[in-house]
Structure 1
Amino acid sequence: MAGLGEHITAMVRSHAAGDDAAFYSVALQVAAREARSGHHVLAGDIRKAIDASRQTMPSANVTRLDQPRGDLADLVETTHPEVSLRDLVAPAELIGHIKQVIAEQRQRHTLLEHGFAPAHRLLLEGPPGTGKTMTASVLASELGLAMYTVRLDGLLSKYMGETAGKLRLVFDAVAQRRGVYLFDEFDALGANRTGNDVGEARRILNSFLVFLEQASPESIVVAATNHRSILDRALFRRFDAVLTYDLPDPRQAVSVIRSRLGSLATGLSLARLSGATLGLSHADLVKAAEAAAKSALMRGAASVTRDDLTAALTLRRQASIG
């Protein structure tokens, strides 16, 4: 965990650079540190001072930190998702877990004042196209944050021998720049390995775990993988929550299709489609619905027919199998 001296240094640097958001983020970390040490009155005073300063500070002085600069810009892709939790089709239990993460983040100041960290380190695992990336987008959108996507496979191949140092840059940003940080294709880093690369891979993984352990609760770190079975089992206990994603059941499949078609689904019966949707992911169903919609629109129809949808689903299954 960063020492008080490091926090003060970071605050001075952010103040000198005019990065008000970074200054307040570090100040909140100091408050959280004091709360964990039992200094609740001091922690409360720091937070009150921050809130008062934010209310009186002209909005023109706020520096937007959404777009990374320098080396960090080469490591992450920045997006500003606009997707709500209502758009995510998933089992009720999974939706409940996501709601809990959002609620804890919204109440993070209260939790931190009493020495408790909100859930901020998540591992999402499941087949491709089942909603893992969308979940990170939902978290960012619901909390009004930017999403920073780290492509681990590219980072490992492009910066071989420098990966640990590059990871440190990303986790420095986690502490200084509040956001949702998605480490996509996490299995590129966390897989059990054999052969000549095992030593280097282990060093990189150990570095990641150290950085993850120290990650600021002001941001959310999301690791997504399609291959839970090949991950090092020691990884799972390092996360605050492990969320599992599966292919949609028939009811969820219908919900995904109807949501994507919108008004074009008027009068369309989606009953008894389970055979046509079996084995398709959420992403596959969206693509099939889009293909059916385009077919209908190009022939001048006001809505999609069952034949449009069945044909599109069949083609999508063939494509996914191939």
Structure 2
Amino acid sequence: MATAEQLKALVRSYAEGDQAQFLSVAMQVAAHAARQGHARLAQELRSLVDQVKSRGEMAPRRLEPPTPLAQPRGELSGLLSVSYPDTRLNEMVLQPAVRERLERVLREQQQAHKLREHGLRPRHRMLLVGPPGSGKTMTAAALAGETQLPLFTILLDGLITRFMGETAAKLRLVFDAIRSTRGVYLFDEFDAIGGHRSASNDVGEIRRVLNSFLQFLEQDQSDSLIIAATNHPELLDHALFRRFDDVVEYNTPSGELATRTILAKLGSFSSEDLDWKLLSKAVKGLSYAELARACNDAIKEAILDDKSSVTTQSLLRAFDERRSTRRS
């Protein structure tokens, strides 16, 4: 029979989607069984491994998403919305420093058992800051997709109330869910609850809410990923920044990142005749989301005009429209 270490190695390699390691450990189990006199079991295991190898390399099995809170009940139904994104990090055009930090979070999450064996915890509390449309919300979806966890978005209109003490009580329910059901929990527009406690328009309730959040975050020992995102980091209370494992700053794309974003969105509708010198000037200040929508607009125009690619002029018009939409 398999040793305890072999059983643990099998589970770990399965959880990490490492098929080569899984089959290697299975062969070790077969060899161990043979040494223990279980010749028939050893032969059956070897035959099963040979059958898998003969079919060629298979894609890692995608685990079915967990569903404990697929339909949040009671008060939670007004505090959380749930989805199961299939977004991946490699689908995003990111600054190298941002990508490196996100990949580090994923690596720690995917190999958390190694860290825990040494009394350490993986990164699981992140603050994302940057302008609208720069990829913060998509990052939460990508982390959920990569870890195959549900994405729970906290509904601020259900969380924040005008009754004294009620918001903090609801916040406790959210952190109870974070502890009981592993997932990626997104606090979008975080400045709504994380604003300065010394703000001139504060009547005391925001201080209680923020103090409660800080306390819950400090006490959190869950396996969930907690992500807070804001377009206005200058509004956040300074005490928040040191409570997060990572503070990741996003910017609007420029130069090569803008070019890569446009090419990725145009896909087969891209053209070698595009004037990148003109386009690089026109995209200045536009977010990733605005670039994506502008590219979609240009593609629609090409389709309706029965063209196989977009033109520089159609992209310039789309960029201008996105900029004017923002002003209005």
For the criterion TM > 0.5, the same-fold answer is yes
Q: Provide the residue aligned with 1:253 in structure 2.
A: 258
Aligned residue number for residue 223 of structure 1:
228
Counterparts of residues 52-201 of structure 1 (less than 5 Å): 64-67=67-70, 68-152=72-156, 154-157=158-161, 161-192=165-196, 193-195=198-200, 197-201=202-206
- Equivalent pair of 2:271/2:311 in contact (CA under 8 Å): no
CA distance in 2, matches of 1:268, 1:157: 55
Check whether the contact 1:254–1:270 (CA below 8 A) recurs between aligned residues: no
SS at match of 1:257: helix
User: Does structure 1 residue 210 correspond to structure 2 residue 215?
Assistant: yes
The residue type paired with residue 295 of structure 2 is: A
Match in the other structure for 2:312: 306
Q: Which is worse superposed, 149-158 or 255-264?
A: 149-158
| TM-score of the aligned structures, taking structure 2 as reference length | 0.76
Aligned 8 A contact 1:153 1:185 in 2: no
Question: Equivalent residue of 1:223, what SS?
Answer: strand
User: Structure 2: how far apart are the matches of 1:270 and 1:257?
Assistant: 12
**In 2: Cα distance, 1:93 partner to 1:205 partner:** 30
CA shift for structure 1 position 77? 1.4
Gaps of 5+ in 1: 1-43, 56-61
Partners of 2:182 and 2:229 lie apart in 1 by 19
1:243 and 2:262 correspond = no
1:198-231 deviations in Å (ceiling 9; x for gaps):
4111111111111111223411000001111111
Shift of 1:64: 2.6
Letter in 1 for 2:81: E
Unaligned runs of 5+ in 2: 16-64
- Residues 268, 222 of structure 1: CA spacing in aligned structure 2 closer, same or farther, 3 A cutoff? farther
Q: Is the 8 A contact 2:78 2:155 kept in 1?
A: no
Q: Can you list the C-alpha shifts for 1:122-172, whole angstroms capped at 9, x where unaligned?
A: 000111110100111110001111100113355214776411111111111
Return the alpha-carbon distance in structure 2 between the equivalents of residues 104 and 186 of structure 1.
Answer: 25
Q: For 1:92 and 1:196, locate their aligned partners in 2 and report how far apart those are by CA, in whole Å.
A: 39
Pairwise CA distance, 1:269: 2.3
Equivalent of 1:296 in 302, 305, 315: 302
Determine the C-alpha separation between the residues in 2 that align with 1:157 and 1:128.
Answer: 25
Instruction: Give the distance between the partners of 2:119 and 2:182, measured in 1 at CA.
Output: 20
> Of the candidates 276, 282, 292, which is equivalent to residue 282 of structure 2?
276
Q: Which runs of 4+ in 1 moved over 6 A?
A: none
Q: CA deviation at 1:260?
A: 1.3
Query: Residue deviations 1:185-210, cap 9 Å, x none?
Result: 00001111534634111111111111
Residues 135 and 63 of structure 1: is their aligned pair in 2 closer, same or farther, counting only changes over 3 Å?
closer
Range with greater deviation from structure 2 (160-169 or 85-94): 160-169
Change (3 A) 1:136 1:307: same
CA contact (8 A) 2:66 2:149 kept: no
Q: Say whether the 8 Å CA contact 2:164–2:205 is kept in structure 1.
A: no
SS of 1:238's partner is coil
2:325 matched to 1:316?
A: no
Q: Which amino acid aligns with 1:119?
A: R
Q: Secondary structure at the match of 2:220?
A: coil
Give the alignment's TM-score, normalised by structure 1: 0.78
Deviations 1:100-123 (A, max 9, x none): 000000011221222101000000
Cα gap change, 1:251/1:116 in structure 2, threshold over 3 Å: closer, same or farther? same
Q: What is the root-mean-square deviation in Å for CA atoms of aligned residues?
A: 2.5
Q: Deviations over 1:63-107 (max 9, x none)?
A: 731412222121111111111111111110110000000000001
State the alpha-carbon separation in 2 of the partners of residues 321 and 109 from structure 1. Answer: 49
Query: Aligned partners of 1:159, 1:218: CA distance in 2, in Å?
Result: 31
Residue identity (%): 46
Aligned length, in residue pairs: 270
